[in-house]
Amino acid sequence: MKRTQLRSKDVSKEVESYDLEIYKKDQVELVEDKYKIILINKKPAFFYYDGKAVPTLKFLQENNILKKITVDMGAVKFVVNGADVMRPGIIEIEEGIVKDQFVCVIDKNNKKPLSVGIALFSSEEMKYMTSGKVIKNIHYVGDELWRMEV
């Protein structure tokens, strides 16, 4: 496992698409193992997917920086087992989602992050759909990245 100390301003450029402040006092490291992960203050904050920094679910529990898709409780067990999100399981779609954007999938009751996925359609397109896959699941509760100790 390779660890590299990073400067906060270097990481700020990587995550500038998210509304997030990284301060000079924050300890920032890049850990390269099976995944490339950015640690902020010793907590996994971002991982790389197709060369882009994506917030981890543990980071999203404390920082609300992604648009949200809310699923009904029937879809929860599928989502946390890695299944992509299908349109019938969605009960709420946040405005302003664009195709290929990273989104956070939350459950109806607890409003807690269940997974991070890639929107296959914009929020406008999703609203008019009645069936089909709409979110590609890339990181979910209980997966390897979730269980990783750094």
The domain limits of the chain are: 2-60, 67-147
Handedness of CA 83, 140, 75, 94 (dihedral sign): negative
* Structure-token pair, residue 112: 């807690």
Type of residue found at 42: K
| Superfamily designation of domain 2-60 | Pre-PUA domain; domain 1 (3.10.450.120)
User: 88-128, pLDDT tens digit by residue?
Assistant: 999 999 999 999 999 999 999 999 999 999 999 999 999 99
Residue 39 β-bridge partners: 29, 44
Give me the CATH topology for the region 67-147: 2.30.130
For residues 94 and 101, the answer to whether their CB atoms sit within 8 Å is no
What pLDDT is attached to residue 144?
92
Element (H, E) at 133: strand 133-140
Q: Model confidence over 13-42: pLDDT tens digits?
A: 888 888 888 888 989 999 998 889 999 999
For the record, the structure tokens of 87 come out as 């349109």
